[in-house]
Amino acid sequence: MASLLPCTTTPCPSSRPLFPKPSHFITNAKCTPRLHISCQSQNNDSNSQNVEGKVDRRNVLFGLGAGLSAANLVSTQAPASANPIQPPVLDKCGVATNLNTGEQLDINCCPPVTERIIDYRPPPVFQMKIRPSAHRVSPEYIFKYNMAIDRMRRLPKDDPRSFMQQANIHCAYCNGAYDQAGQGTLDLQVHNSWLFFPFHRWYLYFYERILGKLIGDPTFALPFWNWDNPKGMTIPPMFVDPKAAIYDSKRNQANLPPAVIDLGMTGNTDPLQVVSNNLTIMYSEMIRSNADVFDFMGQPYREGTAVNPGPGSSERGSHTAVHVWVGDPREKSGENLGNFYSAGRDPLFYCHHGNVDRMWTLWQYYLPSNKVPEKRITDPDFLNAAFVFYDENAQLVRVTVKDCLDNLRMGYDYERIDLPWLDYRPPPQTAKARIIRTASTAPLASTLFPLKLEGVVRFQVPKTKKGKADELLVLENITVDATKFLKFDVFVNDEDDNASELDKAAYAGTYAQVPHKAEKKTGTSTIRLKLTDLYDDMDIADDDTIVVTLVPRHQGPGVTIGGIKIIEAPPKADAAAAAAPSS
Ligand code: C2O
């Protein structure tokens, strides 16, 4: 094993290449490349809070790693207005009950309780783990991975590292089993907010370390399901071998390979169109529809915030689609992947979330800065939010969001695969847009909202001012039945009433959620869709109004939208204030 060289004497590898060869593998990483902190001092004292002093000021301006405290940041975002989310109290974990119907949700997914909790920081990185694309792994890798999962399945049931206990982590954090510590009966929920990426990053981190420990290979790295690349747009073949430990029988049988993943869930059956839809969705949720970091990461969620303040574009888009697409329609609640309480029981879950986590890394470090407005949330309520997990030694540990911001510092990276969606901007659509706006007799939005979304609706929304191109479409106070799969697409000046082709300029974005058991009434969500590029592509910046079409992709009722409006994109400094919860 290569030993760690301190970066003070050996320059860290320069920044991560944008389009490296797909076969590019780093086997002996030296330390994190972006921060020229002395790795030695960082690593010799992994509990040190004082790395700031060792950081060159230029590096603070160019990029920040997980070891830096919030106070060191020059924040352009609004200060905290409450307190960070605290980890749940394990012995208060309960069986979720639906308070509205009184129905016992009849799942007990509470972890074993231990007294001693230790504060955890990622240990020094001696060798970088490289998470491989699941479609490209070798037979040896598949063998090892199955051996690890098999051993996990054989651990005693009450071992917190056992297969079901690991699956139950997801259940407990996502289905109302925990209340927010110190907040009465307010549910703790790690989805549909800015906690989404950090929670799942830590979850996979310990899951991966447990697997590595079980096969005596500390370099073991989870695979990622590369569903954003056409070559990865089927369930990775290794997961469909019924004899494999990573197999799960509760999956939609119609969607086994060679079925092409449908990230848009439009029902379009032409595989080539579906691939094009998928790339458009990736471009939209990673680049086109986000005006600030909250639009991508999810809305603020602090102590006292009601659940589901608003999912980010990636969570509600590709992430939700993969869950629901794989979940088994023969099962009552779409088990396993199609419902939060059971999702962790399918090994494919962790592979799916590998790619979800990769999207966060891409957002932070690889997307060209002219395409990504801000890369980091600097709010202390975000950075200091905390969770608890059992580590690979079955020790209960407390972790914070600020320690997971940099995947390299956590000791893993992703195999480099090119990003075919990076420039997948839809072609201009100006002529059609013009016809729509002159011919539209659609009612004004103000006459329809609050709106129960039960079919396709079309209406006009006034722009903030003529000629102002930098605007956002805000859908506010969205209330959903949490137990159902719900999804709708948003189109602007589109002539089509049931578009199953998303690869066009008129496609503005998506709202969708994975079904879950909800103990209490869910809060209301807000999402925002940036319209700047859409206005350009359709040449409608100078209009007074736009025509919006909402196309539900689910059957039946379940979504109410409180209001819809267009606002001017706030200047950067006000981004967090605009995103602050309204309650
Ligand atoms: Cu915690 Cu993909 O969900």
Q: What is the pLDDT of residues 126-162, one digit of tens each?
A: 999 999 999 999 999 999 999 999 999 999 999 999 9
Q: Is the pLDDT of residue 394 over 70?
A: yes
The Å distance, Cα 9 to ligand 1 centre, comes to: 41
Q: What is the mean pLDDT of residues 364-386?
A: 91
| Local confidence band at 176 (pLDDT 50, 70, 90 cut-offs) | confident
DSSP 8-state class, residue 219? T
Contact 435, 452 (CB under 8 A): no
Burial class (CB in 10 A: 0-12, 13-18, 19+), 493: buried
Q: What pLDDT is stored for residue 74 in this prediction?
A: 31
| Local confidence band at 106 (pLDDT 50, 70, 90 cut-offs) | low
**Residue 461: strand, helix, or coil:** strand
Q: What is the mean pLDDT of residues 205-211?
A: 98
453 bridge partner residues: none
More confident residue, 470 or 255: 255
The Å distance, Cα 34 to ligand 1 centre, comes to: 29
Distance CA 139, CA 142 (A): 5
337-to-212, 345, 347, 349, 546 alpha-carbon distances in Å: 24, 8, 9, 7, 38
Q: Return the number of other C-beta atoms located less than 10 Å from residue 393's C-beta.
A: 10
Q: What pLDDT is stored for residue 483 in this prediction?
A: 86
- CA neighbours within 13 Å on the CB side: how many for 582? 9
90-to-117, 169, 179, 186 alpha-carbon distances in Å: 11, 11, 10, 15
Query: In terms of Cα–Cα distance, which of 503, 508, 498, 561 is closest to 532?
Result: 508
Q: What pLDDT is stored for residue 182 in this prediction?
A: 80
For the chain, give the mean pLDDT. Answer: 83
Q: What pLDDT is stored for residue 97 in this prediction?
A: 53
User: Alpha-carbon torsion 575, 577, 582, 583, what sign?
Assistant: positive
Q: What pLDDT is stored for residue 184 in this prediction?
A: 80
Contact 122, 399 (CB under 8 A): no
The Å distance, Cα 316 to ligand 1 centre, comes to: 10
Q: Name the H helices within 304-389.
A: 313-314, 320-326, 340-343, 348-365, 380-383
The Å distance, Cα 340 to ligand 1 centre, comes to: 6
Type and span of the H or E element at 331: none
- Torsion angle (degrees, nearest 10) of CA 407, 409, 410, 411: 100
Least confident of 54-58, 215-219, 357-361, 500-504: 54-58
Rounded to a whole number of angstroms, the distance between the first and last alpha carbons of the chain is 53
Residue with the nearest Cα to atom 3 of ligand 1?
A: 340
Q: Name the H helices within 175-270.
A: 196-214
Distance CA 488, CA 316 (A): 10
Distance CA 328, CA 122 (A): 36
Q: What pLDDT is stored for residue 374 in this prediction?
A: 86
CA 91 to chain centre: 28
Q: What is the mean pLDDT of residues 420-430?
A: 92
Q: Name the H helices within 238-376.
A: 271-283, 293-297, 313-314, 320-326, 340-343, 348-365
- CA neighbours within 13 Å on the CB side: how many for 79? 1
Contact 511, 478 (CB under 8 A): yes
479 bridge partner residues: 560
Q: What is the mean pLDDT of residues 87-99?
A: 75
119 bridge partner residues: 398
Q: Which residues belong to the active site?
A: 170, 191, 200, 319, 323, 340, 353
Distance CA 367, CA 420 (A): 13
Q: What is the mean pLDDT of residues 424-431?
A: 86
| Pairing verdict, β 129-131 and 412-414 | parallel
Cβ-Cβ contacts under 8 Å for 167 (sequence gap 6 or more): 109, 342, 343, 344, 345
**For ligand 1, what atom is nearest to the CA of residue 323?**
2
Q: What pLDDT is stored for residue 45 in this prediction?
A: 34
Distance CA 350, CA 280 (A): 24
Q: Is the pLDDT of residue 229 over 90?
A: yes
| Pairing verdict, β 451-452 and 559-568 | antiparallel
Q: Which two tokens stand for residue 511?
A: 């709202």
**For ligand 1, what atom is nearest to the CA of residue 315?**
2
| Local confidence band at 185 (pLDDT 50, 70, 90 cut-offs) | confident
Least confident of 20-29, 155-164, 292-301, 551-560: 20-29
Distance CA 493, CA 505 (A): 9
Q: What pLDDT is stored for residue 306 in this prediction?
A: 87
**For ligand 1, what atom is nearest to the CA of residue 320?**
2
Cβ-Cβ contacts under 8 Å for 248 (sequence gap 6 or more): 239, 336, 345, 346, 347, 348
DSSP 8-state class, residue 489? E
Q: Is the pLDDT of residue 58 over 90?
A: no
Contact 202, 189 (CB under 8 A): no
**For ligand 1, what atom is nearest to the CA of residue 191?**
1
The Å distance, Cα 337 to ligand 1 centre, comes to: 9
CA 162 to chain centre: 25
Q: What is the mean pLDDT of residues 279-306?
A: 95
CA angle 17, 22, 28 (to 5 degrees): 65
Contacts 24+ apart (CB under 8 A), 420-425: 420/228, 420/229, 420/230, 420/279, 421/228, 421/278, 421/279, 421/280, 421/282, 421/283, 421/286, 422/283, 422/287, 422/367, 423/283, 424/279, 424/280, 424/282, 424/283, 424/503, 425/283, 425/288, 425/533, 425/537
Q: Is the pLDDT of residue 32 over 90?
A: no
Q: Which of 76-85, 183-192, 564-573 has the highest mean pLDDT?
A: 183-192
Which residues does a 6 A CB cutoff place in the pocket of ligand 1?
A: 170, 174, 191, 200, 319, 323, 340, 343, 353
